Chain A
Amino acid sequence: MATLLNLSDSDHSGLSDQSVSTRSSNRSLRIAEQERRKNEAEDPFVLALKYFSEVEAGTPVTGNDELENNLVRVEKVAFSRGLSPEAISIMLDFAMSLRMGSSPCARVLKCLLPASVVPQEAVVRAIVWLTVRKLPTSTQVLFIKWVLTVFDMIDAKDKLRAIYGFIFSFVTDENLCPFICHLLYLLTRKENVRVFRVRKLLEQQSKLGRQPYLLYLLSLYKVFCPELVTLSIPSRMKSGFKNHISPWKSALIGVQRRNGVQVASGISLAFAVRDKTASRKRKHAHLELPPLSPVTIKEPQAAQGSSRKLVPMQQVQSFAQLLQNMHRIELPAQMGSLLGSSLALQYLDCVQDESALLRLNFWLGYALHEEFLFCSDGGANKNPEEALQFLNRLLSAQHFLQEGFNSSDAFLFKFLNVWDGSLLRPQILGLLSNIPVIPSSQIKALLFDPLMQLFFTSSLFFKCGLIECLNHMLLKWLTWHSAYALEDDLDISLNSHTSINITLSGFKDSVMELVHFVGRLASLGLQLEGCHSLLLSFILDFYETVCDTFLKFGLPLVVMPPPGVFYPAFFAADPISVDRLAFIMHRYKVNLTSAKRQEKVTEQAFHISRQTFREFNRYQVFLVNCLWNSNMCYPEAEVRLSDELLAQSGVPQFSTRFDLIHHPAFVSYALDFHHKCWPGRKDTDLNSIKQTKPWSWYLEYLFTQGFDGLKDFLQNNISRRVMMAGDRREDGTQSQELESAPQIKQPLLS
């Protein structure tokens, strides 16, 4: 068996791999080569091939033992390892030239199993033999079937394409026609489609009746030249060409498995007439994506010359092909079809043609209007499944392109007025979050009024969803701004998408409107839902975006949360909300200080209103006083209750109830800390944590619990001195010191 190893490429490489792996020297390689040559000369298989290439025409077949023996040798190799390109060439030539008559022909064809590739020349020569010699019909068919089977393994196709007309002439042969059509289907290029060929095929059609193979070939012709031929493939015929692999299948798979090549996948020919789902009967045609089909009627001036070179989108099957043909891709007849394929979406991203996008928008807008607004046949309520699919597809396209289509924006503005807030909620909110910046003069009527109504009449989950959606919307607006804004050109047209030029100040106004709107929704929403922590969490998400507008997105705008958001977040019983609030306040401070610094440095300053600083300071003082100073009732507090009222409540030391120890969100941590700190103690006295050492330990403990927001906030706002000051504290003076010391670092921003 070792002697056979050299016969195919993969074996050859296997040999060299072996020698490399044994790290043998050059010398041993040379010896191996010599050995190989020597073996080759004596190899019975090589001798057999020699026999077939040299055997004279007219040698008798019957009783020819030599032929039999040689053929057996070749078959043995073929079925075990496959044949090398040269072997295939020799054997094919032997068979098709009928040098020994037609009887061994079929047998030879059946063993032509390529180990690697099939040389193109051999196939071309064999096709030429097909016309010269009189092969029995069954053998002719077998040969074409073989070509179809190994088609993907033929090393090049240019010469085969060059004899397209020659191959085409076989379609008149009734027996070969089905297979020739298949072969032509694989070879056809745009330049091959000619009127006379169309006529010839139609002639065959009238002779043979409606045959799928003629139809498939003609359908490809239609793709290239829809102006020449038209047809409609009935649904029962939509399967495509048959595979003709059967005579070789098991042997070929065996050879390929042994050689470790994966060509088999290429053998099954895909014939994509339409995707499967389309064959399902649809009641609602408007939600169906149009098929990817080429333009039928070309512009007269484009018909000549240039259009010859255009590649229909339908013919582009891979990303590599797309890249190659980027400059000459012909848009499909219906732009809506681009949404259906991910490859086409890639292309859509580069399309610069205004009309093309308008076409797409007309179609999309039409589909959305018909389905959700006009509801001509029941609408989305009747067929939620299809509507869902459609919107998901639209959303994924928008995510891919990272922007919305303006027809879907136009649709949404109308739809929000009639939406019940539950129909396809995730999808509609998803689309909504893709809406581009709206001028502040129109934002109320288009967006806020309908959303406000929906918000107050819907469930908690809708409220959460909407806040999340508005957060995404804001993020997209800000990202867009940070990508396109220019420092020295403040008067840019921010959103050419909408062809309304928004200046930077206009953009700021819109963002501010949006943030204020969410602030209003959030305050009232928290009241309505009893400060539900889920809703609060979504609201804090939103403010995490808002507090960083300046540093993260370069937008000179800082908007503080309204009290209706700030206080519920602070008084929340879960530590996460308080922690996030502290983080948000920390980021606000960082943003404001850097804005302030930049205002001083650069001349073209933007102005952050005093009101904003005042609001910030008020919150800041409150936080520090409550959490750190244990003094909720300081004189300037915004929220004040009369002391008598608080005294009536019976809560002892009400002023300290919201410090880091007694705050309902942290009290469990304080208790836990207490146990750990004084394991032996029977009676729990949380106030003992306030002593200097335990206090700093307690802070450490809290920070290790993952309260990073709190950590950032405290470390940046409580001056080092005070943090350290704890060390000097004496038990007795502690409370006074906490009350009296100006614990807030420096003067606050103003």
Chain B
Amino acid sequence: MPGPDSVYDPKGAPKLRNEDFRINVLHSYNILDTEPEARFDRLTALAARIFKAKASLVTLVDSERVFFKSNTGSFEGCGEVPRSTSFCPFVTLPTSKPCLVVLDASKDGRFHKNPLVCGEPHMRFYAGVPLETEGGFVLGSFCIVDFEPRESFSEEEQEMLVGLAKLAIQEIEKHNRAAELQRLQQKKFEEDKRGLLQAIDAFSEGLVLVDVSQKGQPIVFVNEGWEKITGYSANESRGQHCGSLLQGPLTSLETTHTITQACKEGRPASVEILNYRKDGTPFWNWLRIRPVEGSNFGLSEDTRNGQGRYYFGILSDCTRRKEKELELEAIRLRELEAEASVRAKRSFVANISHELRTPMNAILACSQLLTDMPSLTDDQRELSRMIQGSGQQLLRLINDILDFSKMDAGKMELRCAEFNLWGCLDYCVEMLAMRCESKGLDLSYNMDESVPDWIWADDVRLSQILTNLLSNAAKFTEEGGEIEVSVSAVRRSPRRTSSDGAGAPSSAGRNSAPENSAHLPEYEVTFAVRDTGIGIPAAFQEVLFDAFTQCDNSRTKKYEGTGLGLAISRDLAERMGGRMWVESEEGKGSTFYVSIFARGSMRESSGVALSPEQAVCRAATPVTGKRALLVGGRNTFQRMVGSMLRVWGLEVSVAASVEELHGLLGPAEKGRLQAPSNGRKFVRVDVGGSQGKPFDVVIVDCFDTVKRTKHGRKGAVDGGANGRTAPADLVALGCQLAERVPTFLLTSKDTKSLISQWADMENAVCLSRSIRINLLYATLLQRLAHQDPLSPLTTPRSLLDSIASDYAEGGDATSLEILVVEDNKVNQRVLNKVLKSLDYDKIRTAGNGREVLELLRQQPADVVLMDVQMPEMDGLTATTRIKADISDEDQPMVIALTADVGNDIEKECREAGMISYLSKPVQKSKLEKLLAKCGYYKQHRSERKMLKWIDAS
């Protein structure tokens, strides 16, 4: 049986040609050097028992050794033997037999010198079946060993051993697949982890993994980002509690609570939290946390066997953004605070000014009454005037503040009406005249011929601007200085076409003139107020119009004032479509310019277009029908004086030249007038007038004549060729009239001496050319109506007021039929009672807007007191309906009752066609006055038609 290969070789079994490959395959099974396994041991134990063998093994034949994967029996404890001594390598050799059987090794040439055969354990019997893989490689053998030689190993026995070997190789193959799978998985996992770690470290954000299932919630992993952001190294961080590492004194407890709560509830969270680095510097951390159940991604050793509850945290240093946000927030807060405080101040100022005005008005009214008392001594009157003066000054200040706060709140509104520009200007000059006189200032004004006599604008606001400028001029001009107001006008093409009612942006700010002025041309009227005062430094001119400024503090001390006047004036001017600017030279004086846009007309002041007020004035004056002679150049000044005299009801004749004067005086007197020659020469004149009716008053304008003489302008004395300036001889003649007739000489301060050569100063009244119409009027009254010259000068305005109120009271008011519309029963009751207490007894009551219409249809009423806010139909709607539904003759005067006050509601009421409004709760005194006026209008139906609005406040 032993062939050539049956010769003993101490190196053991010969090697196959592809032995290296087989070894590789074996290694790939990863079964070498693994622990014994029951599945193989069960097979070997079975084989040992079946074949009654001393040992049974699963062996794997490596290049230099034979590894025992399973070893049952006598060799237990032995893991491997050198390949040279083992029988098994022979099993790996190709053979046709399924099994290598050695019945007695001591007699087998291949093995008889084998140390395991010659020596211990004296192996004799060996039967081994190759463990052949599916790929046909033999890894080792399944073998049994005995120490006694055997007679035989039958076919059946061999087959049985082959069967067992097959089971073994199957187990090996199975082991190999599982191992392969695991290996591949491990490999992938390792790669993933490497990638993940790289990614994690490349991440600029900090990452932290915390095990929240453990006490103290230790950090189990951090990345490089964490180290960079927090300053703590991975080693320092691991095992620590995140919060105790990062949180510090200024960390918001609320935010930490949010985090803790989220962890407890297993929710993700995102917060911005103030954290501290290792070096103690604080930083804002945008922290996002998210729970990771049962896995730590292999980022740390899993000591919890998959039982841990982990939280993943991402940290971003958002300090910059946060600081910017906080900064913005702080700014916003500051702004809000400032705004709130500004608002509070505004409303405070508005309220307080309003409150102040009420008692101030009372003080003024009382002091006025006091001043008017005839029994007063001069001293007392003087004192009472001082009270009035100071009171007025205080009121001006209060009004300034009130205006400013209104302006500031955008609540300033203009009211447009047609008025006489002369009157307005004069009123303003009048206001300042006393002050200028006492300070020895020469105050004059003149108007270009181009200026329209009548304009549509807000006269109250315009006077406010001019008064402000004049009072500034007076304030800042030293004694002996001059103040001059000049008015000029340029016609402007209308800024909007008639079809374009919406108007250009420039017209949006100002009050649009009412419809009936639309046909009039539009003018840019410019007022220049020139003074010879201290002037304004160039640098200061820019801020001059800002609120609360005066030139400097030292001046503020010297010159009282709020510093609001100019700011208000400019705002007003801009609202009137114009602007305001200043030209000034320090030490020489300033000129303030104001321009406004207004529609205007040049009506001849013949008294045709008198307003009701003026009509009242004329009717009331004791100078009506008197004849006046105006002597002087044909200029605007003369035009103005003439127009005013006519307004007052005088008949006016004008003499602009010697010839005209002669003509007016009649031929009889002509010859008796002589031009002045050297020295004083008086010529008696019978001032009869051509119609034989004597003149009652002569007014001579000496101003330009003398002034120009003084300034050495040739030609002026002889009369300007244009006829605007009175020739000296005319003036001289005019002056002579003073002997016979009350004569007013309009002069300037420095011309008095010259005039005195010509005029009998005893008889003449010298008035400054800065003539105030009102003063002229008052003097006229004194001279012509022989009123007590000491009695206080009544200005036409206050005169008008008193006349107007006389009229108002004269109406049979109590016959008014009144309809009260009020949904509130309590208010109804009270209002009824108030009306009854005022002796109105024709009162009906309606509970809402619908009812009032019904009641009015049944029987008309004179006055409707209309609650604005009512259910069903509000007062405004009801009024609109009344206007539409009720016939003209039966239209009532609707007065709004409202709890809301302010410009808006007034506007709404006006638009709805109401004539006035009263704020609720209704004050008896106001209601009384308003109803008295209504009574007047009831009596005067024609005026009623003109009635637009009564200001009840």
Asked whether A and B interact, the reply is no
Residues of B participating in the A interface, judged by any CB pair closer than 8 Å: none
